[in-house]
Each structure stands twice: as C-alpha cells, then as structure tokens.
Structure 1
Amino acid sequence: MNLILWRHAEAEDQAASDLVRQLTPRGVKQAQGAAKWLKSRLDDDTVFLVSPATRTIQTMEAFGDGYRVVKELAPGASAQAVLDAVQWPRGIAETVVVVGHQPTLGRVAASLMTGHEAEWTLKKGGIWWFQQRSRAGDDQVVLRAVTSPDLL
C-alpha cells in the first residue's frame, strides 16, 4: 500500500469558523504545483480522502473532483483516525491520498516512521509518501518521497 499525506495549502488566517477558511492566492498556486507533481506519479485507481474543511477540499480540487470527504479527518483528528480511514497497512486501495491538517498528519508520519506518535510538522502544501511492503516476512514502511511547495 502507498499512503500519501498531503497537507492543505496556505489558507487565510481567519474566517467565520475554522472549517470555512479558504486558500489564499499563494495557497492556490501551492495546491496546483503539488497536484501537477502528483498527477504525473499516480495511477487512475488512486483513492483520495479529504477532510471536510474548505481549505482541504480546495487543495484537492487542484487535482480533480474524484475524492471522498471523510468527517473523521476534520481538524483535530487523531493519527489513528487517519490510519483507520485508509485501513493501514493493507489499505482500501493500492494508493490512498489523505488531504488533511496539522498536527494530525505530522503525528501519522512520525508513527509510521518510528512506531510512536510525535509532533512532526508537514509544511503547508507538503507531501509525504509512504509505502508499506513485506520483505522476508517482515512488514516495512518505506518513505518514498517528501516534497514541499517551494521545491515544486
């Protein structure tokens, strides 16, 4: 299974509520750059799970409209909620992209890399790509790629 964590792009600081915060013009450009990078690397059967927050939906829509909004991925979700939603490590699909928030995505990344949750930071608009595989009967997590908008 491939699990791709995509943090929403830069959003406005304030709005009527946290869930309705929108991307800034810079955030739109960040989302477009990340989407272009992902499009050249993903198969058509990739599953996209997105937080119900406006900024995550707008980030995802830079890629396309084939996604599922998952309320359990809303701001403040636990790392375990993300792993449950994607059914890690076997997966709901061969490749799943989660468009979500900090600190949740950082905690997922830390958990996958170290086996323990920690306060790791994913940059706004950043992507971390993990792969679960078995070698000689041992399950392994491989970090395939990390990128941020300023590198795209």
Structure 2
Amino acid sequence: MTDQSFEVTPDLRLLVIVRHGEAKGHSAAGDEGRELTARGREDATDVGRWLVSQGVRPDVAIVSSATRTVQTWEAIRAGGVEADDVRVDRAIYNGTVEDLVEAISAVPDTARVALLVGHAPAVPDLALDVETRCDLPGGWSPATLGVISHPGPWSGFPTADTALVACRPRRR
C-alpha cells in the first residue's frame, strides 16, 4: 500500500477498483467460465480483510459477469466486505474503459463508496486515465486494487480532479 490516505467527505466519493484474483488457465466453459485458483481466492479474501481494516464499506459493488470476477467478489465478501447493492454487469467482461465509466456513472449519487471488480486491461487503464498519486512498479497483477477519489456526482465521473489516491498490490 502506498502511504497516501483516503477518506469519504460530504463532497468526495471513493471508487475501489479491483482486478480479479488469479484464475485457472482454461475452462471447459470458455474464458468467461474460468475459475479462481486457490491463491486467487486467498488473495481476494485478503483484499476484503484489508478493505475492512481501512474502514472501507461500499454502498454499491459492480462485478463483471465472468466466473472469476464473481468468485473474486464472493471472496472479498468472505473477507468481511458487504455492499447494499451488488450489480453483475456483462458489459464489464471484455469491456473497455468507456464501459467501466458507463457502469460507474450509473451508480446512484446517494452511494458514497463504490467497488468495481473487473479485468485487465480495462481496470489498469482506468487507473491510468485519472491523475495517479501512487505507484505499482509490478503493474496490475491479479488481486491488485486501487482507490480513486472523485469529487461530485457519479454521473460526472471522471473529472479533472478525479485521482487514484492509493493502490495495493496483491500480497506476496
């Protein structure tokens, strides 16, 4: 984790972006059906525990429809994270940054914290599309997360002041 801090204020929202945990190389059900490995489940559970330790509780979770991302969300939940509203979104699977932005823009403005579980390259590309205040020298390996601060309504995501303020690689 970088040494940046983050908090939710009345006019600031947080978006936690997570790349799914390590997945098996093949599935009889095709790419969308690939499951997490045991390490992938452990890493995703660790993400959940870390979020709880930081006091991060999403109001909304947006999850790709792929098996590995749904399983990542389930493991994050096993780590103690809950969300009032969970949205499984097929557009995020094989989606672009624009698809992620569309899903984020649809989050109700009453939500102060949102969590998105998706895939590379869209999740890392989203992080690169906003001001970045943290560094991941090893890149966005599976189970890496970032915290993006966003001033104003979700419908205006992102703005020039939206920034990646914290990042955490998967545990070693």
Classify the TM-score, shorter chain.
0.7 to 0.9
Letter aligned with residue 83 of structure 1: V
Q: Matches of residues 34-49 of structure 1 in structure 2 within 5 Å? A: 34-40=47-53, 41-43=55-57, 46-49=59-62
Q: Distance in 1 between matches of 2:50 and 2:59?
A: 14
1:8-38 CA distance string (max 9 Å, x none): 0000011120011001011111011111111
Letter aligned with residue 144 of structure 2: G
Q: Choose the corresponding residue for 1:51, options 43, 64, 70.
A: 64
The answer for the alignment partner of 2:163 in structure 1 is 142
Q: Distance in 2 between matches of 1:92 and 1:123?
A: 32
Give the TM-score of the pair, scaled to structure 1.
0.82
Aligned residues: 141
Runs of 4 or more, structure 1, over 6 Å off, are: none
User: Structure 1: where are the runs of 5+ without partners?
Assistant: 115-120
* CA RMSD after TM alignment: 2.5
Q: Choose the corresponding residue for 1:111, options 106, 119, 129.
A: 129
Give the TM-score of the pair, scaled to structure 2.
0.73
Verify: 1:73 aligned to 2:92, yes or no: yes
Q: Percent identity?
A: 28
User: Structure 2: where are the runs of 5+ without partners?
Assistant: 1-12, 133-138, 153-158
Change in Cα spacing, 1:19 to 1:72, as seen in structure 2 (3 Å) is same
